[in-house]
Amino acid sequence: MLIVLAVATPGFFGSGNLRVLLVGFAPTLVAAVGMTFVIVARQIDISVGAQFAACAVVVALLVRVGWPLPLAALAAILTGAALGAINGLFVAHLRLPSIVVTLATFFVLKEGLRWWRQGELIRDLPAFQWFGLSQTAGVWVVVGIAGAVFAAAAGAARNLAAGRAVYATGSDEEAARLAGLRPNAVTFGVFAVAGALAGLAAVLEAVQLPFVDPKAGTGMEMRVIAAAVVGGAAVSGGRGTLVGTLLGVLLLGTIGSAIVFLRLEAQWEEAIQGGIILLAVASDVTARRNR
């Protein structure tokens, strides 16, 4: 694909576009890290886009009433963790299907935000855009935070008992229980972590503009699920790597930009993402049957 772009639209590789791509990848990567843990644990979270929007509104409103940005950002992250914990409570302890629970919370959050804000943008945010820094410095702060989160999560998944417990629970919940793990606690934990990372992703996205749109996060759930699945996270649970998720984020982000440079209809991006998810799931199911 990159070769085709180099031939058809050499401007795609201009420094300005590459910088836009890099900073655009950052929030998606952070949210996709959380989604990867959820999928590896054999669950799914459809509500991540609505959580993202709610957390963006929280950080903007708190900054507007005078909270320091770091404290407002922490509040947004905690809000995301609380929203994720609600999903985890229903899934882990009430044993409800995660797709049903998160679809329901998606609509509750989405319609609640629509009723509350009526689509009104949140403006007049002092020292908000790019964390109050220059654009160049702000870009590197956003990218650096995303890189640090990715590195920490990848290290935890590989080296910490908590990370290995996620893989064990997703592979076989009963076997994990017999091995002394607590699958319910693991499931609850991955939803809470995914919510917290959605909150952080919302902050990284929100600071890129001088205002916050309550409809921010539309389609985010599709992008992060597609990134995790195309990166090798098995919907059947127990398999997947964060390096694969990173590659999935890069692929899908590049596709979105390529559509613009090739002057195609923007709606094709979501169609392509849906096709990628379908192909990835089909190939995973076929591989499992062959094994």
For position 276, what pLDDT does the model report?
76
Q: Quote the tokens at residue 281.
A: 């799931």
For position 264, what pLDDT does the model report?
76
Q: What is the DSSP string of 53-115?
A: HHHHHHHHHHHHTT--HHHHHHHHHHHHHHHHHHHHIIIIIS---HHHHHHHHHHHHHHHHHH
Q: Which 3-state string (H, E, C) describes 251-278?
A: HHHHHHHHHHHCCCCCCHHHHHHHHHHH
Domains of the chain: 2-290 (1.10.3470)
Q: Render pLDDT for 173-198 as a digit per residue (tens, 0 to 9).
A: 999 999 999 999 999 999 999 999 99
Q: Are 75 and 59 in contact (CB under 8 A)?
A: yes
Q: Render pLDDT for 95-127 as a digit per residue (tens, 0 to 9).
A: 999 999 999 999 999 999 999 888 789 988 888
Q: Residue holding tokens 């409103």?
A: 61
- Of 201, 222, 200, residue with least CA distance to 75: 200
Instruction: Count how many residues are written for the chain.
Output: 291
Q: Are 242 and 147 in contact (CB under 8 A)?
A: no
Provide CB contacts within 8 A for 227, sequence distance 6+.
Answer: 28, 29, 32, 35, 245, 248, 249, 251, 252
pTM of the predicted model as reported, rounded to 2 decimal places: 0.91
Residue 189 CA to residue 75 CA, distance in Å, equals: 19
Q: Are 90 and 96 in contact (CB under 8 A)?
A: yes
